[in-house]
Amino acid sequence: MKFYSNRIKPIHRALAVAVSLTGTPAFAQQVLLGQPENVTGNNEPVTVNPGSAYDSDGGFGSDIGSSSLEAPSAEAAGLQGAAALGLSQNMWGGTSGETAIALIGQATPSRLYTVNRLVRKTLVAGATPPENASGMLARRADALIRFGAAEDASSLVSAAGNNIDDDLRRTRAEAALIVGRDEVLCGKDMLEPGSPGDADGFWTTLRGYCLAQTGDKLAPVAISAMLELGNINSLDAPLLEALVDESLIDFVSVPHASALTPMRIAMLRSLGRANFQIVESAPLPMIAGLFALESTGAKGALLAAERLEAVGAIETEVLREMYVSFANEVQGTPVASRAKAVRDAQNSPDAKAMGDALIAAARTKGVGGFAQLGRVLAPSAAKLQPTQAAELGALGYALRDAMLMGGFTREAGIWSDAQGAKSLVEQADVAAVMAVADPGWPGTWRREYGDALRKRAREGDEHARRSLAALAGFDIALKPKLPDEGALKASREGKIAEAVLLASAEMTKETPVSAKTLDTTIRVLRNVGLENDARKIAVEAMITARWR
């Protein structure tokens, strides 16, 4: 029996490039799969109406002048202690267990990378759980899987040890299936007598899968008996049969992307039967199990990596290195153009070529848009000589915004100065984003900048409203009064995790984020000591809305 998942795959060589900066397998896994040890490393959609405090005249009439945690319970387990992630061991504060579980269960990926990273950080942090929070760890792991971070989910559940309930055992198995941890899947505690009920045939199919992976000569007989009993789903049955009879592999149909499950991902991996069409439309939770397969191919691997990076499930550095590694293997598609642009920028940075690539990405819907390519190109853009900034027009602004997206605020400031904004509106735009991005911004906010932004806001310019809202959130503009409820109330009461999840949920509902929601989120995060996260989120919200 051939087990394709154990072969040395060309695609893995390219993935190795992405982690070649390291010397240890553990670190490689952290970088490749986006472990939170690296969490500190670093869209014009449908218009939404602002809240009443942000109407054209309302609100802006005034002058604008780690260490590991000794977990007392499975629910407290984490991949790092909360304090090491900039949170607090008491981050659940007075939040009830029922509220915490409900908020975690509702968490879904946002269009903003920085929001997703903050939610993920909250989900992986080890901290004292709320009272009556039984089952919260399983919900945290389920949420991580929804965010494409199945490796985090698998590691998180493993951190809880073996004293786990049926829900957590199922979540652990599904996460392990997605990322290929057969040593977890087929361990004694997962398959011993007394395992949980099997109404949907999951555990029966898992036992068959584990038997097949051992190569045991009796596996075909045992699996045949399982199939005859009728406890295995009709879509799983042919995949399971092919695992023990390689002559059937080429005749097995690949399930439609909408029908993919963790079990089917694992079996397709072993059979070598995935392809890039699956990657394009597969549910996000399944992507982590597809992007490193030989049968996915270079194009599929890049598409998968783009989807995972967009929701913060892998580091931007991994996507950057994959673009460079696969640039010569993909042709004639938008993802191929992006890969070549990144490769060329890394080898020989050219301002016009990078600017053109960013403008092209701005016309792309979904992943692969301006924000993502901006993050990827930021290190190369930051190396450009500012002497050419004034000659590039819109391309120059795109390059500056890419630097900001990547956290190169000093370089972006030098570039902006070299561009020499001519009109008052341009000056106000530059000053607003720089003041938000850099707490040590050396410029001076002038009343006339605020006047220019307020005039545009009264004329219906949502970008101006967002800029003014961000300035208000950071105390550069006077703050409109907001109701003490929801995330704001939670932040005032010191309920850090609850405040983060409530604010993130509001950010996820809107594309682009409204002025009121942006201001509220900034205030919430500053209240709970997450000002750096607030700045990153504000910058991304301000910039991406301009380039969608």
Same domain, 408 and 486: no
Same domain, 416 and 494: no
Tokens of 4: 């394709």
- Residue 125: its H or E element: strand 125-126
State which residues form the domain around 106.
Answer: 37-110+118-134+428-548
Same domain, 446 and 399: no
Task: Count how many domains the chain has.
Answer: 2
Is the pLDDT at 518 greater than 70? The verdict is yes
Q: Which of 342, 380, 345, 373 is nearest to 359 (CA)?
A: 373
Q: Is residue 51 assigned to a domain?
A: yes
Q: What is the pLDDT of residue 199?
A: 75
Average pLDDT over residues 322-334: 93
Last residue of a domain, one of 398, 420, 442: 420
Same domain, 452 and 396: no
Same domain, 518 and 536: yes
Alpha helices (H) along 230-369: 236-244, 262-271, 276-281, 284-287, 297-310, 316-326, 334-347, 351-362
Q: What is the pLDDT of residue 296?
A: 75
Distance CA 538, CA 532 (A): 10
Average pLDDT over residues 433-440: 94
Q: What is the pLDDT of residue 30?
A: 34
Same domain, 416 and 443: no
Same domain, 543 and 444: yes
Q: Is residue 197 assigned to a domain?
A: no
- The torsion angle over the Cα atoms of residues 70, 75, 80 and 86, rounded to 10 degrees, is -110
Same domain, 433 and 548: yes
**Binning pLDDT at 50, 70 and 90, where does residue 49 land?**
very low
Q: Is residue 198 assigned to a domain?
A: no
Q: Is residue 290 assigned to a domain?
A: no
Last residue of a domain, one of 420, 441, 475: 420
Q: Which of 532, 544, 537 is nearest to 521 (CA)?
A: 537
Last residue of a domain, one of 365, 398, 420: 420
Q: Which of 297, 266, 303 is nearest to 282 (CA)?
A: 303
Predicted structure pTM score: 0.84
Q: What is the pLDDT of residues 84-127, one digit of tens each?
A: 999 999 999 999 999 999 999 999 999 999 999 999 999 999 99
Same domain, 459 and 405: no
Tokens of 346: 């890394």
Is the pLDDT at 46 greater than 50? The verdict is no
Q: Is residue 24 assigned to a domain?
A: no
Q: Is residue 292 assigned to a domain?
A: no
Cβ–Cβ under 8 Å, residues 139 and 168: no
Q: Is residue 60 assigned to a domain?
A: yes
275 vs 374, higher pLDDT = 374
Q: What is the pLDDT of residues 314-324, one digit of tens each?
A: 999 999 999 99
Same domain, 415 and 434: no
Same domain, 515 and 470: yes
> If you ran DSSP here, which 8-state letter would residue 83 be given?
G
Same domain, 449 and 353: no
Q: Is residue 468 assigned to a domain?
A: yes
